[in-house]
Amino acid sequence: MKIEKLVVASHNQGKIKEIRDMLKPLEITVLAAADLELPDVEETGTTFEENARLKAEGLSKLCGLPCLADDSGLCVDALGGRPGVYSARYAPDRNFDKGMEMLLGELSATGDKARKAHFSCVLAFAVPGSETKIFEGRVDGRIANEKHGSGGFGYDPLFIPDEGDGRSFGEFGKEEKNAISHRGRALKKFLDCLNN
């Protein structure tokens, strides 16, 4: 599938930057929803897929262009999968420093074994007149006892991936994180689809 222009259905600058960086080799013009003055779509779904579909399909209808939407979050086993689809809203006023403090507070009474977690990402790709395509990515890991690093965004300074060397995503470089992250894995599936 050949596309020249794509709208990222998000106002989250961290997500937009990661997606732009990963799509750069394809020479696709990547626009953010704000570039076209498109609104935020209310995330009323109860799953990552439902929310990604709502955003991609809603903005694609509004602008008439292919739209890629991401819904992702941190799922902590000891918290029954929370914050999950509510990860951004879990952080008061989307202040992730406060969100990380709250998360550490909730986990303070648990042992190390209860810190298992994963990041999940679902991408929805909506093209006017076509069926929406879904791409999923996941990375397993654990929640650190304290923040490490200032890179990435969201809960990255607390998340230590199983496949790494003991560092948090907040200590990873951009390419290093994109190679194993939940969003990187979902985007790789999306790129494979575009290249076929």
Which residues carry out catalysis?
71
* Placement of tokens 């990873």 in the chain: 172
Q: Which of 28, 11, 57, 14 is nearest to 191 (CA)?
A: 28
Chain centroid offset of residue 182 CA:
7
Contact 32, 8 (CB under 8 A): yes
Q: What residue type is 151 in one-letter code?
A: G
For the chain, the residue count is 196
**Whole-angstrom Cα distance, residue 192 to residue 182?**
16
Chain centroid offset of residue 174 CA:
14
Phi-psi region of 161 (alpha: psi -120 to 50; beta: other; left: phi over 0): beta
Cβ of 66: how many Cβ atoms within 10 Å? 19
**Whole-angstrom Cα distance, residue 130 to residue 121?**
22
* CB within 8 Å of 187: residues ≥ 6 apart: 19, 22, 23, 123, 135, 137, 178
